[in-house]
């Protein structure tokens, strides 16, 4: 998902290494979280991950290996769709202090 110069949010094709979607800056830009949740809930975007600023996801062989954060209140969320809505579930992450 991207936001060109604060315009409307829209999906972009990534490199294709992983299936699903990801929304970076999940807590850093006020429009991102609600827009991403709406898109996943409506089915216009695949289920995926919301990644706060100062957090990261590490995949190994296309599987989630771990998540890390360098800010105590940063998080990574798994975003799933159920019927016509999306819900987020925080994924435990290692704090890199």
Per-residue model confidence as pLDDT tens digits over 18-64:
899 999 999 998 888 999 999 999 998 999 999 999 999 999 999 99
As a whole number, mean pLDDT of residues 78-90 equals 96
What residue ranges do the domains of the chain occupy? 21-89
pTM of the model: 0.89
As a whole number, mean pLDDT of residues 59-77 equals 97
pLDDT at residue 7, as a whole number: 61
Query: Please, what is the average pLDDT of the chain?
Result: 90
88 phi and psi angles, rounded to 5 deg: -110, 145
Give the closest residue to 51 by CA, choosing from 28, 82, 18, 81. 28
């Amino acid at each position: 998902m991207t936001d060109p110069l604060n315009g409307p949010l829209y999906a972009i094709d990534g490199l294709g290494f992983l299936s699903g979607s990801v929304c970076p800056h999940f807590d850093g830009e006020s429009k991102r979280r609600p827009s991403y949740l709406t898109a996943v809930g409506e089915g216009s975007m695949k289920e995926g991950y919301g990644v706060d600023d100062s957090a990261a996801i590490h995949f190994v062989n296309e599987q989630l290996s771990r998540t890390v954060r360098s800010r105590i209140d940063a998080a990574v969320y798994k975003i799933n769709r159920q019927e016509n809505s999306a819900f987020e579930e925080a994924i435990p992450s290692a704090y890199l202090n």
